[in-house]
Amino acid sequence: MKTVIIKYNAGNVQSVMYALDRLGVNYLYTDEEEEIRSADRVIFPGVGEASTAMAYLRSKKLDKLIPSLTQPVLGTCIGMQLMCRYSEENSTDCLGIFDVDVKRFPKTPGVKVPHMGWNSIYDYQSTLLTGLEEKAYVYFVHSYAPPVCDYTIATCNYIHPFSAMLHRDNFYAAQFHCEISGDVGEKILSNFLKGE
Amino acid sequence: MLTKRIIPCLDVKDGRTVKGVNFVNLRDAGDAVELGALYAAQGADELVFLDITATVEGRGTFIELVRRVAHTVNIPFTVGGGISSKADVSALLHAGADKVSINSAAVRNPALIDELALEFGSQCIVVAIDSRYVPHIEDVPDAGGDHLVHTHGGRTPTAIKTIPWAKEVEDRGAGEILLTSMDTDGTKNGFALELTATISGAANIPVIASGGAGTMDHFQEVFTTGKADAGLAASIFHFREIDIPDLKQYLQDKGLPMRL
């Protein structure tokens, strides 16, 4: 089993690497096409801002590579948002793997943005969530999110319901940070990395 | 539902945790990595590690500790203490910290907040504010009667008022505020509820309340009256005066959203 973490200017991916270490999973951190194509599992991590990240992906031609992958791919946080069609964050055209637009949380009196902290997810519709209790808590830090749509496999509610996880074919994505979401996050990562 | 967060704070010197009682007398409360892992297993929502010797000793020991913590715990953690440059932040984030907390350096050079937020993203930039009520500053008649920002572990007063400073750090791109009341810190008489509520109401970013926790009711108060998003404490956890699982159960029973 070969696992690759895609290397790009996505902020701190160290905690993703450490999470894989804890799971006993070897990985390669790379932006080379051959290595990525030959992986059994691909993780597309990220913390940061959409337009800068997309510009970098284009400069490395990763914007063409990632949507063409056929093995299981898991995007997290900004990785998830980049897999959508478009993000309101600096009006950014994204990869279009999920035909849905990422929107900013609306200004709401008394409610803070970013959505930061532990929130529960529900309405599971994927084997990636096998073994989790309903309404499991995971850790979020974000100001933008895709709405609930045909690809939604887990929902979260903050101001309004939004997609906590998406799935289409071989592509999976999580808005929250699996790598620092305690045992729940590790279970999701483990399901992704060790599943069929 | 987004939960309220319980955050143990570990003051670290040479890899071991110490708790300053009124920031002077230090007592040893164990190995920092082990204690952090224990808190994570008990249900702590985040951890904060403060390098209290950062300005005196080299940062190498602390960075190594950050690496060990990141390897061991599976919840978010913030590190702080003596951070004053992009290079400091970069080194700590690359060692595996999820957020960094800046304090004195932000007061000295507020533009640092903008730079760090731009470079690393607001989500990982916490601005710590140490505040003390100062009734009157000698020779400066206009400046008294307000909560003033203090730097250098609370030792150095400034003329900066806490509430406008909190708004400024948000405007400059801080992702979170860690508010410590020097008036309540170490007293175990409860958090500074009014100040915390004012700042939490004025800022549109999460506020972590710190200083004064002595009972479980103090946490309930700071989440309701104090409008805090998270409550931070140290010695009451280190010396097991309050156990985190008991505290979270208690708060949930009182109707507060908690991760259990």
Across the interface, of A137, A141, A180, the residue whose CB is closest to B259 is A137
What is the domain count for chain A? 1
Q: Is the pLDDT of residue B181 over 60?
A: yes
Given CB atoms, is B123 within the 8 Å cutoff of chain A? yes
Tokens of B147: 């909560």
Interval B83-112: pLDDT, tens: 999 999 999 999 999 999 999 999 999 999
Nearest by CB to A12, from B40, B94, B176: name it: B94
**Residue B22 CB contacts under 8 Å (≥ 6 apart), including other chains:** B185, B186
A47 and B123 in contact by Cβ < 8 A?
A: yes
Q: Is the pLDDT of residue B20 over 50?
A: no
Tokens representing A144?
């933008």
Using the beta-carbon criterion (under 8 Å), do B74 and A183 form an inter-chain contact? yes
Q: Identify the pLDDT of residue B144.
A: 67
Delineate the domains of chain B, giving CATH numbers in brackets. 5-253 (3.20.20.70)
pLDDT at B21 exceeding the cut of 70 = no
Yes or no: say if A33 and A63 are a contact pair by the CB < 8 Å rule: no
Looking at residues B124-141, what average pLDDT do you find? 85
State the DSSP H helix or E strand holding residue B245, giving kind and residue range, or none if neither: helix B244-253
For position B14, what pLDDT does the model report? 77
B93 interface with A at CB cutoff 8 Å: yes
Q: What is the pLDDT of residues B33-73, one digit of tens each?
A: 888 998 999 999 999 999 987 555 556 678 999 999 999 99
CATH number of the domain to which A107 belongs: 3.40.50.880
Which backbone phi and psi does B141 adopt, to 5 degrees? -60, -30
Q: Give the distance from CA B49 to its chain's centroid.
A: 9
ipTM of the complex: 0.92
pLDDT for B140? 65
Tell me the average confidence (pLDDT) per consecutive run of 10 residues in chain A, 196 residues long: 88 86 95 96 86 90 97 94 94 96 93 94 96 96 95 98 98 96 96 86
| Containing structural domain, residue A125 | 3-194
